[in-house]
Structure 1
Amino acid sequence: MCFSAVFVFLGILFCALCRCLECPFGCECFAVIRTVKCVSKDLLTAPENIPGYARTVIITGNNIHQIGPSSFTEPENITNIILSNNRLTEMASHTFSSLVNLRFLDLSGNQLALIHPEALSIPGSPLQELNLSQSLYNFTALTDLTTALRWGGLAGLLRLDLSGNKLALLPPGMFSHLPNLQQLFLTNNSLVAVYSGTFSGMNHLEVLDLTHNTFSTFRTDALLELDKLGDIRILLGNNPYTCSCEINEFVAWLNKSRAKVDVDAVRCASPGTLTDARLRGLSIQDIGCVVPVLAEVADLTLQTSYVFLGLVLGLVGMVFLFVLYLNRKGMKKWINEMRDACRDVLEGYHYRYEIDSDPRLGHISADSRRAQRQSGISLSQQLPSDTSVAPTKTQVRQLTISPPVNL
């Protein structure tokens, strides 16, 4: 009996010793929960000889600056890897290609500056959750990540966390190669606008988190882009919205959108009179759109005045034409008299011009002309007493008749 108890004890001790020998240096292994932890051990490289039973590997708080295909070669059964806060700066090509069962990858809290286009490529696309919060070093890293998402074969990815990366903009079509993505977290960045094509290809998205950014409003193209996502859960709270007239379109969208928006958190940050006021339900008077509305009314009134003035002028013209129609006979007589008077005047000037321009009369002496005037018929006797009427053609011809003159 005593020997059997000692034998059992030695067996347990031997198994524990074997377990300890299997655990990598500087790590803790838990066979029951199939977990390996290497936390704050100042490791410079990823640990080797990870036990085959491990399903979860936690490597955090170390100084591992680079990982590549040689970092994880043996453990094919690993489903979860946490590599947060390791000061990672570079991910080489096919870093996780041997982890064919990997479902969850956490790279948060690093300083990734170089990301190979195929760094996230894994045969069979098993990856479902990717955490890259507070992990991108600069805008170049964002460009590399966009390429990696395109060439990584991540068709099975369901959850992507890019929060806390100080992103100012998102390249168009950045997520178009993630057709099955359901949750996208972009909180705590510096996004100021959403452009057309930003969320193209995301037909299965269920949650979009845009909280804690720097949105002051959403313009027409951004609202159209959000409408394309359908009736999903969109988080827009805790942004510095400026409740001026420019936000009127966004307020109207909040009131009619099919999306499930956290309207209680969507509040005004300025001006001071509307601080912390909910955007949904604000009227155009509240956000300062009264003046433009009055201007539109004034413009409409001015147009109405122009129409009224045109009607009045048209009525006056019709009255004038009607008066002319009633006095058409008198107007016709007056016009004929004026025409005859003008004709007589013009004929008189015409015959005078013919007399003055006749060359045969150029050598007549002054005395002869005086005798001609004395012997001829006086112009005052031939013309009527009304001197305002010019001589007729017959009178002018009579005046030109005179006795023969010796040349």
Structure 2
Amino acid sequence: MLNSARCIAICALLCCVHASCPPRCECSEAAHTVKCVSKDLRTVPAGIPGYTRNLFITGNQISRIGPDSFKGLDNVTNLSLSNNRISEVESHTFAGLRSLRSLDLSNNQLVVIHPEAFTVLNQSLRELNLSRALYNDSSVMDLATSLRWSSLGSLQGLDLSHNSLIYLPSRIFSHLTSLRRLQLSNNSLVVIHNSTFSGLEHLEELDLTLNALKTVPEEGLRELDSLPGAAFLLGENPFTCTCGIEPFALWLNRSQGRIKNSEGLVCAFPASMRNTSMLAVSTLTLGCHQRDAGADLALQTSYVFLGVVLGFVGLIFLFVLYLNRKGIKKRIYDMRDACREVWEGYHYRFEIDSDPRLSQVSSSADV
């Protein structure tokens, strides 16, 4: 009887353990891992075991996640939600994951990101992957707000690669004071503005490869210099090596120690400069300023010459007037007398027309 009771208890315990794994998921208590991969799930499954530290819910059809999605999962350290077509992340979605250190939301279609979407108690989150995750420009603005409101002071790695970003809102990273790695590769960034990387004093690596940077203006160079400990990746950008790029080229030469593979940075345009090392551009294009100075001097000379010619023509005109002053004076008097005679004739006719008696006298005189 005792043995039977033990068998029943063991069977019941095994059944409970088995039942604790959600349907269509794979659970491993030994590895503290639960995987729900490509199971066509519409929501985060309920009943995920409390021992779970590594949770993979990927390749499904989950459109929205919120505070009720991850209740009771205090031990989850690594959470992967990639490739689920998630379009909305509500505020405090991950607040209950007290031990969360790594969050992967890559390959989703985020349209709406609520202000405190990434808030985690104890600020435990260290890595946030949003590669291929942002759907449009409005989601970028939502992300900027969320990064400011979500208490991510301990975040060390942020991946925003492959998002077709054209611009970055000012001070978007200003609250990520502990950030060490920022990946912005494979976007369409065309310029670095002032305050783009404000607040990232501890940044160690900034990846800007495969963007649309034709140059970095002096404002952007000052912004990069505000990251004293950061190494930069700038390869495979369409640098245009024309007049005006010299400050950037000089900065590259001065900062070679901070730029990974600086020798591999080459000009993309114009065709005559293609594949020319950016490190050599500063010496090859210094003639731009000389030509500009020559052009300015030529333009100033032209203006001076034109002024001299116009002044000379004016003097000749005044001299001609002086030589013909008597004739001009006679012509003016003649014109004055002619105008006076015409005016007196009009005045006389007006008086006759306005007085009937004068009109009759005029008629009798005509007879």
Runs of 5+ in structure 1 lacking a partner? 304-407
Change (3 A) 1:9 1:190: farther
- Residue 268 (structure 2) aligns with: 269
Q: Report matched runs for 1:212-223 at 5 Å.
A: 212-223=210-221
Q: In 1, are the aligned partners of 2:101 and 2:127 still within 8 Å (CA)? A: yes
Give a deviation string over 1:54-81, Cα, whole Å, max 9, x none: 1010000000000000100011111110
SS at match of 2:244: helix
Alignment partner of 1:101 out of 99, 110, 113: 99
SS at match of 1:246: coil
- With the length of structure 1 as denominator, give the TM-score of the two structures: 0.68
Structure of larger gyration radius: 1
Deviation at 1:149, TM superposition (A): 0.5
Alignment partner of 1:290 out of 287, 291, 301: 287
- Residue 234 (structure 1) aligns with: 232
Q: Give identity over the alignment, percent.
A: 47
Change (3 A) 1:259 1:8: farther
- Partners of 1:298 and 1:93 lie apart in 2 by 60
Q: In 1, are the aligned partners of 2:88 and 2:113 still within 8 Å (CA)? A: yes
- Residue 187 (structure 1) aligns with: 185
- Partners of 2:15 and 2:243 lie apart in 1 by 73
- Partners of 2:27 and 2:132 lie apart in 1 by 28
SS at match of 2:162: coil
- Partners of 2:197 and 2:56 lie apart in 1 by 32
SS at match of 2:122: coil
Give a deviation string over 1:217-243, Cα, whole Å, max 9, x none: 000100010011114211111101111
Q: Report matched runs for 1:144-223 at 5 Å.
A: 144-223=142-221
Aligned residues: 298
Change (3 A) 1:291 1:223: closer
Letter in 2 for 1:276: N
- Partners of 1:294 and 1:115 lie apart in 2 by 52
Give a deviation string over 1:362-397, Cα, whole Å, max 9, x none: xxxxxxxxxxxxxxxxxxxxxxxxxxxxxxxxxxxx
Q: In 2, are the aligned partners of 1:168 and 1:191 still within 8 Å (CA)? A: yes
Deviation at 1:291, TM superposition (A): 5.0
Give a deviation string over 1:163-201, Cα, whole Å, max 9, x none: 111111111110000101111000111100000011111
- Residue 63 (structure 2) aligns with: 65
Deviation at 1:140, TM superposition (A): 0.5
- Residue 32 (structure 1) aligns with: 30
Q: In 2, are the aligned partners of 1:230 and 1:259 still within 8 Å (CA)? A: no
- Partners of 1:9 and 1:293 lie apart in 2 by 94
Letter in 2 for 1:221: E
Alignment partner of 2:51 out of 43, 50, 53: 53
- With the length of structure 2 as denominator, give the TM-score of the two structures: 0.76
Runs of 5+ in structure 2 lacking a partner? 301-367
- Residue 358 (structure 2) aligns with: none
Change (3 A) 1:116 1:298: closer
Change (3 A) 1:43 1:292: same
